[in-house]
Structure 1
Amino acid sequence: MKKVLELRFWALYLTVFTLPMFMRLNNIFLGIFVLLGLASLIFDYKSWDISNFWKSWPVFSFFILAVFGSFYGAELWEGFKYLERYWSFILVPFVIMGEKDKYSERRKQIFMALVWGSLATLIICYGNVIYEMVTRNEPLHYFFRWRHVNHRFTNIADIHPTYLGVFIVTAIIFLIHHKGDRPYLRYATILFLLIGLFQLASRVALLMLLVLVGYFLLMRIAKYRFQSIFILLGLILCLVVFNKIGSSYLKQRLFTKEAIVDDKRFERWDASYQIFKENPFMGVGFAKIEEMRNQKYIDFGFDEAARNDLNAHNQFLELLSRNGAIGGFVYVCSLGFLLLLSMYRRDYLFSLIFFAFILANVTESMLVRIKGIEFFAVFATLFLCGVNPKRLEKE
Structure 2
Amino acid sequence: MNPIKEFFLDKMNIANKVSGSVFKWKYWLLYLSVFTLPMFMRLNNIMLFAFILLGTLEIIMNHKKYLAKHFLRAWPVWTFFVLAILGSFYGSEDIGIGFKNLERYWSFFLVPFVFVHGMVQYETKREQIFMSLVLGCVVTLLICYGNVVYEMIVGNEPLDYFFRWRHIGHQFTEIADTHPTYLGIFIVTSVLFMIQDKRINAKLKYPIMVFLIFGLFQLASRMALLLIVVFILYFFLLYLKKYKAQIALLILGLIACSLLFNKLGSDYMKSRLFSKESIADDKRFQRWEASYQIFKENPFLGVGYTQIEEIRNIKYKQFGFDQAARQDLNAHNQLLEYLSRNGALGGFVYVISVFFLFLYSIYRKDYLFTFVFFAFILANLTESMMVRIKGIEYFAIFTSLFLCHNLKPELKSVSSHIKKV
- Does the CA-based 8 Å contact 1:47-1:99 persist in structure 2? no
Query: Aligned ranges for residues 177-192 of structure 1 at < 5 Å?
Result: 177-192=196-211
Deviation at 1:144, TM superposition (A): 0.3
What residue number does 1:15 align with? 33
Q: Distance in 1 between matches of 2:253 and 2:390?
A: 28
Measure how far apart 1:46 and its partner are: 5.3
CA deviation profile, 1:65-92 (whole Å, cap 9, x unmatched): 1111001011211110100000000000
Deviations, residues 175-214 of structure 1 (Å, cap 9, x unaligned): 0010014212101100000000000001111111111111
Cα separation, 2, equivalents of 1:48 and 1:219: 42
Distance 1:341 1:196 in 2: 32
1:48 to 2:66 alignment = yes
For 1:100, give the aligned amino acid. M
In the TM superposition, 1:317-332 aligns within 5 A as 317-332=336-351
Give the root-mean-square deviation of aligned CA atoms.
Answer: 1.9
- The structure having more radius of gyration, on CA atoms, is 2
Q: After the TM superposition, which residues 139-288 of structure 1 pair with which residues of structure 2 at under 5 Å, given as runs? A: 139-288=158-307
| 5+ residue gaps, structure 2 | 1-18, 407-415
1:94 alignment partner in structure 2? 113
Change (3 A) 1:46 1:320: same
CA–CA distance in 1 between the matches of 2:126 and 2:119?
11
The separation in 1 between residues aligned to 2:228 and 2:179, in whole angstroms, is 18
Distance 2:224 2:252 in 1: 18
Shift of 1:5: 0.8
- Deviation of the 1:229 alpha carbon: 1.7
Matched residue pairs, number? 394
Q: Distance in 2 between matches of 1:24 and 1:232?
A: 36
Contact 2:194–2:200 (CA<8 Å) still a contact in 1? Answer: no
Q: How does 1:123-138 map to 2 (within 5 A)?
A: 123-138=142-157
How many Å separate the matches in 1 of 2:139 and 2:226? 23
Give the TM-score of the pair, scaled to structure 2: 0.91
In the alignment, the residues of structure 2 paired with residue 367 and residue 201 of structure 1 have an alpha-carbon distance, to the nearest angstrom, of 22
Separation in structure 2 between the aligned mates of residue 88 and residue 160 of structure 1, nearest angstrom: 19
1:45 shift after superposition = 3.7
Confirm or deny that 1:72 pairs with 2:94: no
The answer (yes or no) to whether the contact 1:165–1:205 under 8 Å persists in 2 is yes
1:112 to 126, 131, 140: 131
CA–CA distance in 1 between the matches of 2:116 and 2:62?
Answer: 14
Structure 1 partner of 2:45: 27
Counting aligned pairs with the same residue, the percent is: 61
The Cα offsets for residues 213-240 of structure 1, whole Å up to 9 and x where unpaired, read as 1111122223222211221111111111
Instruction: Summarize deviations over 1:273-318 as a string: whole Å, max 9, x none.
Output: 0000111111110122111100000000001111111110100000
Cα distance between partner residues in 2 of 1:347 and 1:105: 15
The 2-side partners of 1:219 and 1:59 are apart by 31
| Distance (Å, rounded) in 1 between the aligned partners of 2:129 and 2:243 | 23
Match of residue 7 from structure 2: none
Q: Is the 1:297–1:306 Cα contact (8 Å) retained in structure 2?
A: yes
Where 2:138 maps in the other structure, the secondary structure is helix
Distance 1:340 1:299, change over 3 A: same
Query: 1:14·1:29 contact (CA, 8 Å) conserved in 2?
Result: yes
User: TM-score with structure 1 length normalisation?
Assistant: 0.97
AA at the equivalent of 1:331: Y
